[in-house]
Amino acid sequence: MTKVRLGKSDVRVTPVTFGAWAIGGWMWGGADRDDAIDAIHASLDKGISTIDTAPVYGFGRSEEIVAEAIKGKRSQVEILTKYGLKWQDDRGQFYFDSKFNDGTSAKIHKYAAKESVIRECEDSLERLGTDYIDLYQIHWADPTTPVEETMEAVERLLEQGKIRAAGVCNYDKELTIKAADNIPLASNQVPYSMVNRGIEDELVPWCIDNEVAVIAYSPLQRGLLTGKIKPGHEFNEGDHRAGQAYFSPGNVKKVNAFLEEIKPIADGKNATIPQLVTAWTIAQPGITVALVGARNRKQAEDNAGAMEVKLSDEEVRNINEKLGNLELDL
């Protein structure tokens, strides 16, 4: 499996990476632990060796599941995790109200002060059952802590060998530049999909010019671009997608019509629609990695198949022309 380099770092990852948010159950209406472990095993079997997780995904549950799934295989896996979203206390900026897996209330705060970052790293190392993290990323910017202070902590972790490379998530161009001024910045993880392309205007060109990898999350727009969601779809209780504008009946209908238009391209490559959409994502200028979640073996195997789908320039242009006619009500 050909791996791609994260910026100027020594970390190389699979261009399609296992996104471990959903397996934590949090905000996805629950998840089965055995199915989640099976999904990770299936990904590894198919050549996806990179896993992206975070402490807040199930309040430690996702990281613990990853640790169980890769036990005895650590040297074969690249672990990407995060810091800066806290539920243990009220320091930092309040982000939103949520619920723990048992249904009790949880208040999420953005907090990335120096000592907190170092403590979070130790906690993640313990949950993950490892002594190093391949890529350590701030989950969301903390406006109550100077970027310089946060990155000072990250620099210490790099020096100690507890992390191999440093990244950011959900940073705009200005914040990305600030981070890169303080540490060797490997990557920025941001939302990007066929129907959410705002980063192409400023962030992606800057990342290309400065050799910073772009890790695209939600390339299937949280399931919308799979073609499996129909107008009137009912999500499980606790699923964050319920009520999102992307999933209005009108938008679902428009997106599914677009997917039918590009289906002949998928059929010609013996690929599924999700595989085609993922392949399109990593074919875009500046996009290094597509994060795709899976909650069971079948989904994981389907995701891995995207790495075998190769698109010509003409096919990408064809898809983009059809995308140009897709207007969603957001």
pLDDT of residue 284: 97
Of 303 and 103, the structure prediction assigns the larger pLDDT to 303
On average, the pLDDT of the chain sits at: 95
Give the residue-averaged pLDDT of 34-62. Answer: 95
Instruction: Indicate whether 300 belongs to any domain.
Output: yes
Instruction: Indicate whether 187 belongs to any domain.
Output: yes
pTM of the model: 0.95
**pLDDT of 130 strictly over 70:** yes
> What total number of domains does the chain contain?
1
Q: Which two tokens stand for residue 251?
A: 């938008």
Give the residue-averaged pLDDT of 152-157. Answer: 98
Instruction: Indicate whether 31 belongs to any domain.
Output: yes
pLDDT band at 101 (very low <50, low <70, confident <90, very high): confident
- Cα–Cα distance measured from residue 216 to residue 189, given in angstroms and rounded to the nearest whole number: 6
What are the b/e assignments for 163-178, b being 16+ CB within 10 Å? Answer: bbbbbbbbbebeebeb
List pLDDT tens digits, range 170-189.
Answer: 999 999 999 999 999 999 99
Q: Which candidate in 57, 83, 111, 171 is catalytic? A: 57
Q: Diameter of the chain by CA atoms?
A: 54
Instruction: Indicate whether 237 belongs to any domain.
Output: no
Instruction: Indicate whether 327 belongs to any domain.
Output: no
List pLDDT tens digits, range 9-31.
Answer: 999 999 999 999 988 866 666 67
pLDDT of residue 104: 86
Domain membership of residue 57 as a residue range: 4-225+273-311
- Cα–Cα distance measured from residue 298 to residue 265, given in angstroms and rounded to the nearest whole number: 22
Instruction: Indicate whether 54 belongs to any domain.
Output: yes
- Cα–Cα distance measured from residue 186 to residue 177, given in angstroms and rounded to the nearest whole number: 12
Strand partners, 19: 52, 293
Share of the chain above pLDDT 90, in %: 88
**pLDDT-wise least confident of 17-31, 99-113, 191-205, 255-269:** 17-31
List pLDDT tens digits, range 221-248.
Answer: 989 999 999 887 888 777 778 878 999 9
**pLDDT of 201 strictly over 90:** yes
**pLDDT of 61 strictly over 70:** yes
Instruction: Indicate whether 268 belongs to any domain.
Output: no
Is 217 annotated in the active site? no
pLDDT of residue 28: 61
Number of residues assigned to the chain: 330
Give the residue-averaged pLDDT of 118-132. Answer: 98
The CATH code of the domain that includes 73 is: 3.20.20.100
List pLDDT tens digits, range 301-328.
Answer: 999 999 999 999 999 999 999 999 999 9
Instruction: Indicate whether 10 belongs to any domain.
Output: yes
Q: Which two tokens stand for residue 228?
A: 């499996």
- Cα–Cα distance measured from residue 125 to residue 53, given in angstroms and rounded to the nearest whole number: 12
